[in-house]
Structure 1
Amino acid sequence: MTALLTVENLSKRFGGLQAVADVNLSVAAGEICSVIGPNGAGKTTLFNMISGVLRPSGGRIVYDGIDLKTLSPWRYAAAGIGRTFQNLALFKHGTVVENILTGRHTHLRSNVFDAVIFFGRTRKEEVAARQRVEHIIEFLEIEHIRDAVVGTLSYGQQKRVELARALACEPKILLLDEMVSGMNQEETEDIARFVLDIRDELGITVLMIEHEMRIVMDISDRVHVLNFGRKIAEGTPDDVKRDPAVAEAYLGRQRAETLARAGA
């Protein structure tokens, strides 16, 4: 399969702290890939570099044939990189529809004069944007809250709105940062189903950070494991599950060895 995203020897320093060190990974078009690791492993820093929030200290990121070092961060969404955040980044006083519409900004070509007149191209873009938003609302099954003010919604509902906004930019690759954190079992299962549908029905490649191992093992094609900023393992979910380095990273060496002996 063709790699849509390739990370080569990627590093990030914050003063004397090496948050990410020489990480290599690739994501093929049409894959669901997960990045896992203990707290502080560098997962979100990695995502921040891929999505343009942070500039790498070293290495490079190639997305769809483009070296992202040559691209201004504000152009990432237009290039097809969508993202959700671990900490919600919604407009709490806006409605669900209004929040999702902000994801259409990269597709608007009208200038300020067109907007004042609100005719021709501007009107067509507005109609097209709202049609797209309604399709996403139906896809994510949030019709019943479409007109609700986001700040009045539950945490799980707000997470779904943030996912909707990311889809509104029509990404080729979607970065999901801890989508199911704080969700109950039913909400978690819904998100897992939506992630599969996003790949299978919308044709969007997915790269996700996730602590919920059940989801990682159930829906991922490949898993990359970080610890202390370095990649320590990669492979299929089954490969990673059996890797002693992964068990040690999560459990500590002594407990991992004890469990390994018990399993033997």
Structure 2
Amino acid sequence: MTALLAVENLSKRFGGLQAVADVSLRVAPGEICSVIGPNGAGKTTLFNMISGVLRPSGGRIIFDGIDLATISPWKFAAVGIGRTFQNLALFKHGTVVENILTGRHTHLRSTVLDAVVFFGRTRNEEIAARQRVEHIIEFLEIEHIRDAVVGTLSYGQQKRVELARALACEPKLLLLDEMVSGMNQEETEDIARFVLDIRDELGITVLMIEHEMRIVMDISDRIHVLNFGRKIAEGTPDEIRRDPAVAKAYLGGQRAEAMAKAGA
């Protein structure tokens, strides 16, 4: 099957620091893939290159047949890449609906004059955008906070609003950066369920960075492991669970060897 996303020998250097070195990975349509690794492994830098926040120092990113180096970063959302961020990037003084509506900007074709007149195409686009937002609100079960000011919401609720905004751009590929970080067990389980529904019901491919290994192992089809900017392993959850290189990266050499001898 042709990959929806193909990362080929990707590298990123910041002066003398090699943050990502010669990383390659493929994500097939309909997959839930995870990128894991210790802190400082280069995971977020990799996401920043895939989403256009950073330009690679070397290598290529091919998304849905498009070499992303040939288009402007602000067009990445338009070609089908949506993203959440590890640190929330919401408009805290806006309502939930207003924040989600900002994710619809890539689908708006009206001119400034159209907006002033608010007739024809502009009115139809506004109606379609609000219908889409209401569908997402229902999908993520946040009807009870739809009119709340985002800054007054709990951290877990704000994370769900950011997920809603990413879905509003109707991505083909959704990048989730530490979605369950800082959440309690119930919120974490809800997000895991939503990620599966996003793939199964909305048909969106998911690539996520996650430290919560229970979630990674439960819902991922494939896992890519980074350490010191390099990919050290790739496989199914069962394969990654048994990989000694992964255990060593997370636990250190002596402890990993002890666990292996103990049959852990």
CA shift, 1:262, in A, is 1.2
The secondary structure found in structure 2 opposite 1:86 is coil
Q: Deviations over 1:231-257 (max 9, x none)?
A: 000000000000000000000001100
The secondary structure found in structure 1 opposite 2:115 is helix
Where do residues 161-176 of structure 1 align in structure 2 (5 Å cutoff)? 161-176=161-176
CA shift, 1:94, in A, is 0.1
Q: Deviations over 1:196-253 (max 9, x none)?
A: 0000000000000000000000000000000000000000000000000000000000
The secondary structure found in structure 1 opposite 2:203 is coil
Do structure 1's residue 208 and structure 2's residue 243 form an aligned pair? no
CA shift, 1:263, in A, is 1.2
Q: Deviations over 1:18-64 (max 9, x none)?
A: 00000000000000000000000000000000000000000000000
The secondary structure found in structure 2 opposite 1:193 is helix
Q: Deviations over 1:115-137 (max 9, x none)?
A: 00101100000000000000000
Q: Give the aligned partner of residue 235 of structure 1.
A: 235
Task: Quote the Cα distance in structure 1 between the aligned partners of 2:82 and 2:2.
Answer: 19
The secondary structure found in structure 2 opposite 1:225 is strand
Q: Deviations over 1:86-108 (max 9, x none)?
A: 00000000000000000000000
Task: Quote the Cα distance in structure 2 between the aligned partners of 1:262 and 1:199.
Answer: 37
Q: Give the aligned partner of residue 85 of structure 1.
A: 85
Moved over 3 A (4+): none
The secondary structure found in structure 2 opposite 1:3 is coil
Task: Quote the Cα distance in structure 2 between the aligned partners of 1:176 and 1:51.
Answer: 11
- Normalised TM-score (structure 1): 0.99
Task: Quote the Cα distance in structure 2 between the aligned partners of 1:61 and 1:252.
Answer: 32
Identity %: 90
Where do residues 148-167 of structure 1 align in structure 2 (5 Å cutoff)? 148-167=148-167
Instruction: In structure 2, list runs of 5 or more residues that go unmatched.
Output: none
Task: Quote the Cα distance in structure 2 between the aligned partners of 1:238 and 1:177.
Answer: 23
CA shift, 1:190, in A, is 0.2
CA shift, 1:2, in A, is 2.3
Task: Quote the Cα distance in structure 2 between the aligned partners of 1:33 and 1:73.
Answer: 23
CA shift, 1:182, in A, is 0.2
Q: Give the aligned partner of residue 126 of structure 1.
A: 126
The secondary structure found in structure 1 opposite 2:4 is strand
Task: Quote the Cα distance in structure 1 between the aligned partners of 2:263 and 2:33.
Answer: 28
CA shift, 1:10, in A, is 0.1
Task: Quote the Cα distance in structure 1 between the aligned partners of 2:72 and 2:184.
Answer: 38
The secondary structure found in structure 2 opposite 1:183 is coil
Task: Quote the Cα distance in structure 2 between the aligned partners of 1:259 and 1:169.
Answer: 45
Task: Quote the Cα distance in structure 2 between the aligned partners of 1:84 and 1:149.
Answer: 19
Q: Deviations over 1:120-174 (max 9, x none)?
A: 1000000000000000000000000000000000000000000000000000000
The secondary structure found in structure 2 opposite 1:60 is strand
Instruction: In structure 1, list runs of 5 or more residues that go unmatched.
Output: none
Task: Quote the Cα distance in structure 1 between the aligned partners of 2:262 and 2:220.
Answer: 28
